[in-house]
């Protein structure tokens, strides 16, 4: 029996039915529907990785190393895989499934010790969500290459969900509206919600490459303090401040939110940074935003949400992209912000906008694939392809969301409801 036939026989009980893809093995054998997406097992090493890490992580390791490939649309293949799991109500991998796969791996001559993790997989040490490990986690994702992010993102270097105000992007109805315009509209939306005006003091927590900071200074006359713990981002933003002559309006500091001491800001923003502080530290993060704002000042948080047991996004994202990330349902985040003393004024869901944003980034990646490979290497480029395809699908299927939460530091004394004999000063 061929490798593909052995695999099909072993996987049928786990999948509760036939293969949902066309499987091509390295020995030339084929199994599965003719008209399904084609999954190529280029090396026996792919099976060894999946055996030692059954499920998402092993498959992701094999894909980024090129030991497993998908011919055609990767997003379509992932979508079919998710749909098969949902429709057939496939349970998690069980011991007997692993044993069955081990027999196939042995027959294919691929049985052996675990393979080394791919070079792009994160290697963090120490306790989660302490400053030293947080810096390492952020550096793993954000300090890889400013040149690569310049290739992937819009010219403003906005690395967060855009806001599409003119319909679905990429349609013939409006060919002149795309990612660049949608990121600009997102920045305007944020600045409008924060009621920025000339001279207003804005704190940008987790500023990235400075898209919001520069936009608020240039277009609204705000005086901005931007903070980040990513060295490459800080250096990049410093250069952009100098190039644009904004040194009198924008300051950038390499600073952890836990070390913030300046207060009295007229507005505070944090775009897609709260996911990285960790579950244990989120109350401290929320209090830091509250304490930095002046009494009565608005605070805007744009943050991803997620239900289910994989609060970090799943084994692939947690291992390769954003180690130690923690997401939760948006209602839980609202409660934590309220616990910190903030009054939530509104929540705007933007889930579908992240689908469009991720697809725009994917198009830019594919159009400049050779450059991406030159900057990150083949493994790094494939990691990003898998990340964007999987991320777009997670938002499309509603497994993840993103929201803008507008809050305010109260300007008056408020009583604590569960302790009527005590009063808490909101300022």
pLDDT, tens digit, 9 for 90 and up, residues 206-260:
999 999 999 999 999 999 999 999 998 999 999 999 999 999 999 999 999 999 9
pLDDT digits (tens, 9 = 90+) for 158-191: 999 999 998 666 555 567 899 999 999 999 999 9
Q: Which residue has the tokens 């986690």?
A: 137
422 and 416 Cβ atoms separated by less than 8 Å: yes
Question: Could you give the CA distance from residue 268 to residue 270 in angstroms, rounded to a whole number?
Answer: 7
- pLDDT given for residue 413 in this prediction: 58
Reading the block at residue 341, the tokens are: 């003393």
pLDDT value for 98: 81
What pTM was computed for the model? Answer: 0.89
Strand (E) positions, 278-358?
298-306, 343-349
Cα 313 to Cα 319: distance, rounded to the nearest angstrom: 10
Give the three-class secondary structure for 111: coil
| 312 touches 327 (CB < 8 A) | yes
Q: Note whether 29 and 6 are within 8 A (CB).
A: no
Could you tell me whether strands 267-271 and 298-306 are parallel, antiparallel, or unpaired per DSSP bridges? parallel
- How confident is the chain (427 residues) per 10-residue block, as mean pLDDT? 87 87 93 93 93 91 97 91 85 77 84 92 82 76 82 96 81 76 97 98 97 98 96 94 97 96 97 93 97 98 90 85 88 97 98 96 96 95 96 94 98 58 42
pLDDT of residue 172: 52
């Amino acid at each position: 029996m061929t490798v593909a036939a052995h695999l099909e026989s072993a996987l049928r009980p786990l999948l509760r039915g036939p293969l949902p893809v066309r499987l091509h093995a390295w020995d030339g054998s084929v199994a599965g529907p003719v008209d399904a997406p084609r999954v190529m097992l280029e090396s026996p090493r792919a099976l060894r990785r999946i055996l030692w890490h059954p499920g998402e992580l092993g498959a992701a390791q094999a894909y980024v190393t090129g030991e497993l490939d998908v011919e055609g649309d990767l997003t379509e293949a992932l979508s079919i895989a998710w749909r098969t799991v949902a429709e057939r109500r496939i349970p998690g991998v069980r011991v007997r499934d692993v044993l069955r796969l081990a027999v196939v791996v042995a027959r294919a001559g691929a049985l052996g010790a675990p393979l080394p993790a791919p070079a792009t997989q994160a290697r963090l040490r120490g306790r989660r969500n302490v400053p030293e490990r947080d810096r390492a986690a952020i550096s793993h994702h954000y300090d890889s290459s400013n040149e690569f992010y310049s290739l992937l993102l819009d010219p403003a270097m906005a690395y967060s969900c855009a806001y599409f105000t003119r319909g679905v992007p990429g349609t013939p109805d409006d060919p002149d509206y795309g990612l660049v315009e949608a990121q600009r509209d997102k920045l305007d939306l944020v600045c409008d919600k924060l009621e920025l005006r000339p001279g207003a003091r804005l704190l940008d927590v987790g500023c990235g490459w400075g898209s919001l900071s520069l936009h608020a200074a240039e277009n609204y006359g705000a005086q901005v303090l931007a903070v980040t713990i990513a060295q490459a981002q800080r250096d990049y933003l410093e250069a952009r401040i100098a190039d644009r002559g904004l040194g009198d309006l924008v300051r950038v500091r390499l600073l952890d939110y836990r070390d913030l001491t300046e207060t009295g800001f007229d507005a505070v923003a944090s775009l897609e940074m709260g996911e990285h502080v960790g579950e244990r530290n989120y109350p401290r993060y929320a209090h830091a935003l509250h304490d930095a704002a002046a009494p009565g000042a608005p605070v805007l948080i744009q943050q991803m949400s997620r239900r289910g047991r994989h609060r970090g996004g799943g084994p692939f994202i947690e291992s390769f992209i954003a180690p130690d990330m923690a997401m939760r349902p948006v209602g839980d985040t609202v409660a934590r912000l309220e616990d910190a003393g903030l009054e939530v004024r509104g929540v705007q869901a933007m889930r579908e906008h992240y689908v469009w944003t991720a697809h725009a980034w994917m198009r830019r990646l594919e159009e400049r694939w050779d450059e991406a490979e030159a900057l990150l290497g083949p493994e790094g480029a494939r990691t990003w392809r898998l990340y964007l395809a999987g991320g777009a699908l997670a938002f499309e299927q509603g497994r993840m969301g993103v929201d803008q939460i507008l809050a305010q530091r109260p300007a008056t004394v408020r009583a604590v409801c569960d302790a009527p004999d005590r009063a808490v000063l909101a300022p």
